[in-house]
Structure 1
Amino acid sequence: MKLVVQVRLLPTPVQAAALEATLRACNEAATWASEVAFATGVKRNFALREHTYAEVKERWGLGAQAAQHVIKKTCDAYATLRANLKAGNLGRPGSKRYRRASEKPVAFRPQGAQPYDDRMLSWQTARRTVSVWTLSGRMKDVAFTAGPGQLATLALYRKGESDLLYRDGMWFLNATCEVPDAEPNTDLVDFLGIDLGIVNIATTSDGEIMAGRALNRGRLRERTLRNKLQRKNTPSSKRRLKKRRRKESRRAKDINHKIAKHVVAEAERTGRGIALENLTGIRERVRLRKPQRATHSSWAFAQLGQFIAYKARRAGVPVVYVDPAYSSRTCAECGHNDGANRVSQAWFACRNCGFVDHADRNGSRNIRARAEELWRRGAQSTAPDPPPEPGRGTGRKRSTTASGDRSASPGL
């Protein structure tokens, strides 16, 4: 399984200036190569090299490896764009959003991420330094910092490319690591059902509820503050907005890591598998009133499911995805399905047998029962590989899941 370990670089001012100049040159070259690819219709790696390789090296002074990675990054960006257009992630063909994405060349931010291979970057993990290629020559002894777990993963499993990126005034390296999967537990007797939601982020079939009150209050506070600062539209308000950008997503990511780690640890301790809802396409299926749209759009259920899946693979815990249809209105005791059973957001009361329970716990028990039925029929663990993040054209890491597990905190 591929994981990404992110470490923070601590360059000197001279080293930072060289890294910044290198990123700018690489992304300017990538934007030019993208224009050539768009004009000629040549968007495959080796074919595009014939049109761009020599000029990329001569015009921007890039080395051979850097020039090849710039061209490959351009082709990867077009492959990602093609996949998003085909999947409908950028609207329907002919829509304004679809045309805006497809009728002009892909552009790269001046400080977008740049891939490095082992010829351009070497790691001295024990000394916590790296040697990295720049336009000013090889920069040696660039210090980095990371946690003990990340250092151990780097030393044992690092393999492949690393991405250099600059974000919010800080330098990072995202290193790809090939971590072996644990031997899966096939002698299961039970599953831990997980019901995902907005009011309660996750509810287990054991009755444990990870409430989302604090996270939702924080999102509302951030949204209110953003609106207020955007209305002011002064230099100081813009500086404040820039400083607080991505704060909400960082907090949600941290909480999802903690919940996922706790869920996987509980399943591993009790020798159970994990049952998750398959919520693919839920944003397109539901219709919401305007006040609910922002809350629903910021619901990070896919990220939490991804974190649970990859942590479960590392621990050898099987994961089964089930159809969540009617799980919130079906009685976990007698199986009676009726919309009137869900008397409120929080409570479930069966009109057939009189069973009363917390609505999310009832739903998680239904999810567990469906996973057990699938497992008895011979279903295998369906925990997928960690999906790639958005392409390098956005300046973000393209490869696999971010690392840095948080401490488990079941009291969320």
Structure 2
Amino acid sequence: MRNFRNSLLVTLFGLFISMSVWASTNYAPLIEDIEQRLDKTAELYQQQHADEARRTVQMAYFEVFENLEGPIRINISARKSYEMESAFGEIRRMIGEKKPLADVQARIDWLKAALREVEPVLDGGHRLVAEEQHNALSRDDIAVHWQESFRTIDDLLAQAVTEYQAGNYSVASQHVQQAHYQGFKNSEMEMSLRQNRSAKDAASINQQFSSLIALTAQPDHLNDVSYQVTTLLQDIEDILPGLPTTRDDQQVAAAQSADNIPAADEGNNRTDWAEVTTGINQSIQDAIARYQGGDAKNAILDIQDTYFDRFEASGMENKIGSRDSAFKTTLEAYFTRLVSLMKAGQPVERLNAEASALTQDLQKAVTMLGEGEETQWSLLLYSLMIIVREGWKRC
């Protein structure tokens, strides 16, 4: 029985072992830099310089940790990368909420320990033991039929990554298609998801498969393939507990308690991404106005707050990353560039141009995430968008 996390790490290990010398001269200093900034954060907070402490931890993320996110996703898992990324935002929020120094220090210590834990993986290729194991294959609240379907998806996606690493892009894409149809559609997992969860949830999984099919057909996207595969598997694993089977001959052998089955209509609980985008754009404009008024220091802090409090905390960043990790990286880069432009004292016109481009891409993100049930036609259009965008990147 194959566990995809292990398969993914095995297939990618060979690629990165040849880079171990390079990594040892780059990743270790980055980790040390972050640790020093985190220590400075605690020191500033202890001295009651809360704004400086928040600024220090935020810059540790923007200036340093962003360079580690991709390697952590590939060598360990997307969840580990996201968990560590979120810790920076949590430390920042705790400082803003004036939490006790001991609590802030405890979270800083956790993040430093996590950095030390991943360092040998990045520097020397040593894998973490039992990191991010799937538990979908052993949970009592997941029907045996869905466990078998998940295993099919897991195995085929592992084969896709192996073929992609070998440069067999069309074969890799075919394996993803097989995982989509054999594991998700033909097993009637998609049908049950639509009937017992929501059409929006089913459309989201379909979107991720479509994105991955297009992505694996293109070279030079191993990082993005890794991120999207691990996120897709995690999203599928998250929807399986309590999911009813569709036919009597599908083996259940697992309790399907009504407590585990969400209501089919969850529309009222869905995030209004257009509203989130409006908030981001307004906050960016307010920060630029503050910068124009001569307060660059706090304007930079406002940009960083917008990233953590709106883009990340709303779940928008993670949702976009699960569908198109390259686009997520593009959006993140706007915040980094705005901060860099402010630090360099650049004209307001350059900031406005950057903000305008961010606004346009955020609107694309709203369209991607959708504001209601998505049709097969919208999925087709989304897949074509990915193919066209990848084609332009190669030109």
Tell me, yes or no, whether TM beats 0.5: no
Greater relative contact order (CA < 8 Å, ≥ 6 in sequence) = 1
TM-score w.r.t. length of structure 1: 0.28
More helix by share: 2
| TM-score, structure 2 normalization | 0.29
